[in-house]
Structures are given as C-alpha cells and as structure tokens.
Amino acid sequence: MRNAWIRPHLAALRAVAVMTVLLGLVYPLVTTGVAQALFHGKANGSLIEKDGRTVGSALVGQSFEGHREYFQSRPSAAGDGYDMLSTAASNLGPEDVLDTPDRPSLLTQVCARSRAVGELEGVSGARPYCTGDGVGAVLKVFPDRAVSVNQACPARPFTDTYEGLTVECAEPGEDYAAGRTVPVRGDVRAVVPADAVTASGSGLDPHISVAYAELQAPRVAAERGLDLAGVRALIERHTTGRALGFMGEPAVNVLELNLALDTRP
Amino acid sequence: MGWIFILSLIVALGLVYRPLGDHMYRCYSGAKHTAVERGVYRLLGVRPDTEQRWGGYARALLAFSVVSVLFVYGMQRLQDKLLLSLGFDAVPDHIAWNTAISFVTNTNWQAYSGESTMGHLTQMAALAVQNFVSASAGMAVAIALVRGFARRGSDTIGNFWVDLVRGTLRILLPIAFVGALVLVAGGVVQNFTGPHSVETLVGGTQNLTGGPVAGQEVIKELGTNGGGFYNTNSAHPFENATAWTNWFEIFLILLIPICLTRTFGRMVGQVRQGHAILAVMSTLAIASVVLTNVFELAGDATVPQAVGAAMEGKDVRFGVANSATFAAATTLTSTGAVNSFHDSYTPFGGMMTLVNMMLGEVAPGGVGAGLYGMLILAVITVFVAGLMVGRTPEYLGKKIGAREIKLASLYFLVTPLLVLTGTAVAMGNAEGVKAMLNDGPHGFSEILYAFTSASNNNGSAFGGVTVNTPWYDVALGLCMVLGRFLPIIFVLALAGSLAAQKPVPESAGTLPTHRPQFVGLVVGVTVVLVALTFLPALALGPIAEGLL
C-alpha cells in the first residue's frame, strides 16, 4: 500500500522535470528560433521607425491627446492611457449609471467623452441618455419628487419635470439610494461614433472606426493646412478591411495614419 | 458578416473532424511507442506496457498534479533569483498558490497581471508547461472513461503516464508548434526582450513589452487553458493581433473538444455514437453562440444604448459580433481566454457566458473534460429515460446500475455545490463583498461569475472584481482544486466499474443512443438540470439587471 502511493510520486517528480525541459525550454527556444528566422519583424512586435528611431508598434495604439494636428485614438483604461505595463479594460457594467464620490459612472464617462469630442471636432456631442453638460441623464424618482442625481447643485437639471414631478439638482452628500433609478433617453441622435466614447478591451487598441477617422479629417486637414480630399485619401490607404471579407470590422490604424501625415511632402 | 464568421468556423471544424479524431484514436489505441517516448518512459521509470486499475490511474494523476503544483509554486516564489525575471520580485505567497492551482487544474484563473508580475522563465517553464500537461491529463481522463465503455470484463483502464506523454507529444505539441508560427505570421510576438521604453510620435513614453508569447498563446487556446501572457489576455494586440488571428484562436479553442467525439466513436466501435454526442454539443453551442451574438448586437442596456453599440471593453478590429463569438466559445469550453471584457457586456450577453459555464462546460467543453462531462450527462439521461419506461438503463452495452448512477450524480453535484456555497459565503462576509467593482445586481454577478468560473475550471472573469486578496485566492483556489479533482476521481471510478462489466446484449427495450430522439433527450436533461440548479442565482444577477 505504501508503495502504491510513493511510487507514482517519484514518477511524477521525474515527469515534471522531463516535461519542463521539453515543453518549458526546448519548445519555446525552438519556436523563437524559427519564428525569428521566418518572421523577424513580426516576432519582435511589428516595430515602426521614423527617422531611424523606433516610435512604437504598428499593433499598439498610442495617445495623441492634446495634439490637434493628429488623429486621436480611442479612450484607454490601461494606466494613464495606452500603458503597456498595466493593460486593462474599464470592466464597468452596462447599467453603471450613477456617479459616486469615488468615480464617475460609465454612462457619465461616455457622455463627457462625447461632449469633449464634439467640441474638438466642432460637431454636436449630444447623445441619448446624456445631459447637455455631459453627464448621465439619470433620475432618482421618489413619490413626491425626482432628482437628477448626476447633476450636483447648483447645476440646472436636464429636465424640469418628470411625470408631473419637479426635478431637482442633486445636493452633494445626500443619499438618494432609496429612489427608483430612471435613465432618461431624450430624443437626440449621436454624431460622435461609438468607438470614440468607449474604452477598448486591450487598453491598447491601435485602431479607430472609419466613421471616427472621417469625423476627425476636417480638423486635421485644417490644422495642417492640407486639403480634405488628400487627408481622406490617406485614411482610405490606412484602412484595413475585413480579413477575407468577413472577419472583424474595417479599422483605421491611428499611428500609421499619423505617421503618413507627418511624412507627407 | 458575423454569421459568415460563425459558419466558416463550423466548416473548418468539419474539415478537420475526421483526420484529427482518427489521429487521436490511433494515438491512444496504438500499442507501439516511438523512440522518443521510450526514452521518456525510461527517464520516468515507468513500464509503459503495464496497465493500471482505476485507483492506480487516479493516484498517478493526483501525484503528478501535486508535484506540478509544488513546482509551479516554487518557481514563482523563487522568481527573483532565476534568469529572465525582468526584475520582478518573488510572487506573493497567496497569489503564487492560487496561480499554481489555477494552471495545474486547467483553470488559468489569473489573480495577477502578467506584464507586471511574471518573468519570462516563470511564464514559459512553469505556466506554459502546465498549459500542455493539464490539457493532456484532461484528455487522458476522458480516454480512460471511454475505455471503460469500450472494454469488456477488464480490470484496467490504461496507463496514465502513457496517455499523458502521448497526448502531449503526439497531439498537443505538433499542433502547438505549427499554430505558434501561424500566430507569429499574424503579428503575435515571440522574443525574449523585456519592457523597453520608446519615445512615441508626440514625445510621450511607451514601454513596449516582449516575451515568448506566441508559443504560449497557441497552447493557451488549444489546451483550453486561457491564462493570458498579458493582463488583457487575447484582447492584447501582441496576443491576438488581427481579425484573422482571432478566428484562428477560436478555431484552436474548439478543435480538440469537438474532434474527441470522433475519437470516442472510434474507440467504442460505433462512429454514430460519437456523432450523437457531437450533435448534443453542437445544438447547445450553436444556440449559445447565436444568442450571445443577438444580445450583444442588440445592445439592450442603458450604456450600450447611449453609446450606440456594445463597444465598451471591445477592440475595433474584432468588432461586436466576433467578440461575442469568442466570448461564447471561451466559456462553452473551459478556456477562459477573453478578447473582450465580459463585465461590460449587456446583461443578457454577459448572462450567456455565465450560463455556458453553468452547463458544466460540455458544449463542447474543455479538452477531455468536455467529453467526460457530456458522457456523464448521457449516463444520467439513459437513467432518467429508464425510469420512465421502467427498465434497467444501459449505455453502450453497459448497465447503469446503482454504483454507476451514484458516481454520475456525485459528479454532477460537485460544481453546483461549490458555486452556490462559494457565492453565498462570499456574499455573507465583508471580505467577499468588498471585491465588487460595480454595485447592485451587477456586483452580485461579478461574485457569482468568479465562483462559477473557478469551480468549472474556466478562468475567465467579470474582470472588475478584485480577487488578488488572500481571502479570494484561498477560496477560489479551493473551488478550483475540488472542482477539478473530485469529478475526475468520480469519472475514473465510473470508468473502472464500467470496464469490469461484460456488455449486455441489445434488446427490444434498449434505448437507441445514436438517434435524434436521444440527442434531444440529452439536450433537454442538460438544460433542465442547469436551469433548476442555477436559475435562482441568475435571477438575482444578470436577469435582475436586464429586466429592471
């Protein structure tokens, strides 16, 4: 009986050692060798050079925030944005609509981004479920009143009444948890595309949608004194269609597009 | 386009179904050993031609798993003293323990963030090795159970070491090697560089990370493991560079679990029995994939409606539809890799990922684990059908008597017990509740998801939950161990008792188990069992969120 328990453990010790050498050392080393020989550039991260120095990877997005002459990337939840040492998504839920003192709700983040993009591009930043001042349009409804909870006083509530009840602004520090949560859709249509107001899964999304690139084209053209048609042609050149016509979605690589703008004569 | 994407996956899997299924059949049934294998057996000190009873088979598997856990734990604790540590410290004890359990049990739950915790040597020599061998061990258990059905009056069910070595060397390693190169061709990195900073186009700093990623990525999908090299897993462009590598990774996830049904059919001498099992898996899987796509594309929740699409937590190159298909595939199997973040899915889209795991990951399930899980459900189904007509149930010529149905029932009860008790305990104490990122029903879903994922050895998460605390590392670690090894012991015991039986001749009262009627019955039993078990918990989480 003792043997029946000890012998397999001895075999197991040896098995772990053998497997570690084979699968943990030989396999990755051989794979790396062959990969480096066959696909050198890709195995090393599809690096992009400009004037002889590496400026990033074609696969990894970068932040262009504050630089009006460049196309902007999507919002990113990786560190302070596009941080490869702390990649992350927001992980906020689809009904995360109530701001707290700790953090704004996902809905308010979406509304605020939409408003900011609208201002940057000179278009309407309005969206369904968003107030004009760029927070989530959400009411807490009580029997005798309604409160626009994401609009702290003295802000003016996005609507004066809700089903006959007067809508108030939110007193900071007051607890509205007991009320019924009612997000209010409103009747606007969004101009700013979906990818411009959401954080990606990787936090490193190198792409934006064609619609978002088109939205930014007039601003970039004006900042650089280029004609719009030329910028649009560049967008088209850096748009990847669906692989084999049916995989994924058409996408514009932001870093490559911006590099192309820089190297344009 | 999303529908063509799904259809093309089905066609591709159909093309490789026979060749790979037959290859695996030959691999586990052949008597010959290759020269390399003989060398390995000599190093291990085992006699490959001596077969084991179920107890010996189970002891070998458990011994191998215990030693593996200790080794993976040790590597992480000593990481700072080893090569290629990238300057990272030793992994804290509770995270190292959780991670060791997680990779050995084929769960690959991650309480750590890859790019800031694990050095290259830990990734490739500790974690990736388990990606191979935990998968191979799962396949071995499935094959042992199939031998139980196939053999007559035998007291042995095979040799664990032979099954482990053959599954690794003849099936996983060749596919992984070719697959890794395919992924590199798509842009997945394979090098040994550490983080190095570059100046971005606008003068900022970005730390580009490297690593032997492709080799680990491919087995992560092929072995239905799911542990990402980087924190954002298969959403990270260095793990999943393009829309077509995304397709390829889904293909790898489904490849072995699907083709094992062919191997099963060949081993029991009736290919049509394998087809029936495949039909059950496909029915459930296609229904789930379609529903997940429908819910995500509809985007029926406040934030997706405000955005105009369920794009939060999804990358542009994949889009909503292909992300949803990946999410369904990864939870229908025991993979748990993610290319988009389930926490931000619509309430019902997110619920589908939970339901997929609650099905017991049988459609098609993890490598090996899916097949043995589905065969247990088939046993339960013939028992239920036998009760209806008042005859002794039998499956593949073997009587399902008191001992067999007890083992099958125990198997089925393990995961609901772990999931529901675990969630209840977490909700009942402050340590458990404070892990939530979101509040209300969605916060409950995060906890329920964590315990469902750990107990079913999936490893994906509603990622907002903060689980790198000692309390969660221990609780979820226990769920992973019990959720993996208790069912395996019951399956091997069942295999032993089936193998010892002499087959009973078919009679007029035998329920044919290859017809659509039986397929429908198994689907029905699966759905009813899962609905009865988990509906109340789902009602408090995603259903409440979606309807209120």
Domain ranges of chain B: 2-547
Confidence of residue A1 (pLDDT cuts 50, 70, 90): low
Cα separation, A75 vs A110, whole angstroms: 10
Give how far Cα B199 sits from Cα of A46, A62, B4, Å: 16, 10, 41
Judge whether B66 is closer than 8 Å to chain A, CB to CB: yes
Quickly list DSSP for B44-63: HT--TT--B-HHHHHHHHHH
Name the residue type at position B295: F
**How far lies B44's CA from each of B31, B108, B311, in Å?**
19, 27, 51
Nearest to B247 among A57, A89, A247 (CB): A247
**Residue A78, token pair as written in the block:** 């990786």
Residue B51: CB atoms within 10 A of its CB come to 17
Q: Over chain B, what is the mean pLDDT?
A: 96
Strand partners, A53: A50
What 3-state class would DSSP assign to B473?
Answer: helix
User: Amino acid letter at B306?
Assistant: A
Is the pLDDT score of B191 beyond 70?
yes
Shortest alpha-carbon distance between residue B412 and chain A (Å)? 28
Q: What is the ipTM of this complex?
A: 0.96
Query: Between B186, B208, B338, which is nearest A84 by CB?
Result: B208
Confidence at residue A264, expressed as pLDDT on a 0 to 100 scale: 77
pLDDT reported for residue B391: 83
How far does Cα A158 stand from its chain's mean position?
27
Token couple for B87: 């300057």
Provide the 10 A C-beta neighbour count for residue B402. 7
- The terminus-to-terminus CA distance of chain B in angstroms comes to 32
| Residue B50 touches partner A, C-beta closer than 8 Å | no
> What part of B 341-370 touches A (C-beta under 8 Å)?
341, 343-347, 350
Q: At what angle do helices A27-38 and B213-222 cross, to 10 degrees?
A: 120
B67-96, pLDDT tens digit by residue? 999 999 999 999 999 999 999 999 999 999
Is residue B105 within 8 Å of B98, Cβ to Cβ?
no
Show the CA angle centred on residue A68, arms to residues A63 and A74, nearest 5°: 35
- Mean pLDDT for B255-274 is 98
The span from the CA of B201 to the CA of A56, in Å, is 8
Structure token digits, residue B472: 């969660």
How far CA A84 is from CA of A252, B308, B543, in Å, comes to: 20, 28, 35
Using a CB–CB cutoff of 8 Å, tell me whether B200 touches chain A: yes
Residue of chain B nearest A22, judged by CA positions: B129
How large is the average pLDDT for residues B87-113?
96
How far apart (Å, rounded) are the C-alpha atoms in residues A197 and B140?
Answer: 48
Would you state the pLDDT for residue B548? 78
Give per-residue pLDDT as tens, B208-234: 999 999 999 999 999 999 999 999 999
The pLDDT value given to residue A4: 85
Q: What digits encode the pLDDT tens for the residues B472-529?
A: 999 999 999 999 999 999 999 999 999 999 999 888 888 999 999 999 999 999 999 9
CB nearest to B191's CB, from A16, A43, A84? A43
Per-residue confidence (pLDDT) for residue A2, from 0 to 100: 64
- A223 has a chain B CB within 8 A of its CB: no
Which 132-171 residues of chain A touch chain B by CB within 8 A? 136
A197 touches chain B (CB under 8 A): yes
B113 in the Ramachandran plot: left (φ > 0), alpha (ψ -120 to 50) or beta?
beta
Inter-chain CB proximity A35 and B190 less than 8 Å: yes
Q: Residues 6 or more apart from B99 whose CB is under 8 A from it?
A: B72, B76, B91, B110, B111, B112, B127
**pLDDT (tens digit per residue) in B333-374:** 999 999 999 999 999 999 999 999 999 999 999 999 999 999
Domain ranges of chain A: 2-44, 45-90+199-265, 92-195
Cα nearest neighbour of B187 on chain A: A42
What's CA B18's distance to the chain center, in Å?
22
| CB atoms closer than 10 angstroms to residue A185 | 13
Q: Is the peptide bond preceding residue A75 cis, with omega within 30 degrees of 0?
A: no
Of B187, B302, B312, the CB nearest to A42: B187
Q: Which residues are CB-neighbours of B501 under 8 A, at least 6 positions away?
A: B152, B153, B398, B399
Per residue, the 3-state secondary structure of B115-158, as one string, reads: HHHCCHHHHHHHHHHHHHHHHHHHHHHHHHHHHHHHCCCCCCCE
What mean pLDDT do residues A230-244 have? 96
- Do A20 and B438 make contact, defined as CB atoms within 8 angstroms? no
Pull the structure tokens for residue B189: 């990195």
pTM over 0.90? The answer is yes
Three-class DSSP labels, B389-458: HCCCCEECCEECCHHHHHHHHHHHHHHHHHHHHHHHHHHCCHHHHCCCCCCHHHHHHHHHHHHHHHHCCC
Cβ distance of B202 and A28 shorter than 8 Å: no
Distance CA B491, CA B497 (A): 10
Q: What is the dihedral of CA B435, B439, B444, B445, to 10 degrees?
A: -100
Residue B77 burial by CB count (10 A; 0-12/13-18/19+): exposed, middle or buried? middle
Is B195 near chain A, with CB under 8 Å?
yes
Out of A12, A59, A86, closest to residue B63 by CB: A12
pLDDT tens, residue by residue, B370-427: 999 999 999 999 999 998 888 889 999 999 999 999 999 999 999 999 999 999 999 9
> Element (H or E) spanning B370, and its range?
helix B369-389
- For every residue of B7-43, which 3-state class applies, written as one string? HHHHHHHHHHHHHHHHHHHHHHHCCCCCHHHHHHHHH
Q: Would an 8 Å CB–CB cutoff place A129 in contact with chain B? A: yes
* Predicted local confidence at residue B363, as pLDDT: 94
Euclidean distance between CA atoms B196 and A2, whole angstroms: 53
**3-class DSSP assignment, residue B535:** helix
Residues of B in contact with A92 (CB under 8 A): 303, 312, 343-344, 437-438, 464
Q: Chain A to chain B, count of Cβ pairs less than 8 Å apart?
A: 372
Distance from CA of A228 to the nearest CA of B (A): 22
Cα–Cα distance, A203 to B483 (Å, whole number): 32
Which two tokens mark B16? 């490789």
B79/B85 Cα distance (integer angstroms): 6
Nearest by Cα to B514 from B160, B333, B274, B161: B274
Residue type at A226? L
Q: What is the rounded average pLDDT of the residues B192-217?
A: 96
CB contact under 8 A, A199 and B440: no
What span, in angstroms and rounded, lies between the C-alpha atoms of B278 and B317?
A: 32
Pairing of strands A161-162, A146-152: unpaired
Confirm or reject contact between A26 and chain B (CB < 8 A): no
Q: Among A142, A144, A139, A143, which Cα is nearest to A170's? A: A139
Which residues of chain A form beta strands (DSSP E)? 47-50, 53-57, 138-141, 146-152, 161-162, 165-170, 180-183, 207-208, 239-240, 251-253
Q: Distance from B513 to chain A by nearest Cα, in Å?
A: 38
User: What residue type is assigned to position A40 of the chain?
Assistant: H
User: Given B125, B237, B344, which is nearest A24 (Cβ)?
Assistant: B125
Residue B490 vs residues B58, B298, B403: alpha-carbon distances, Å:
10, 42, 11
Identify from B86, B242, B317 which residue to disrupt to test chain A contact, counting A C-beta atoms within 10 A and taking the largest count.
Answer: B317
| 3-class SS string, B257-269 | HHHHHHHHHHHCC
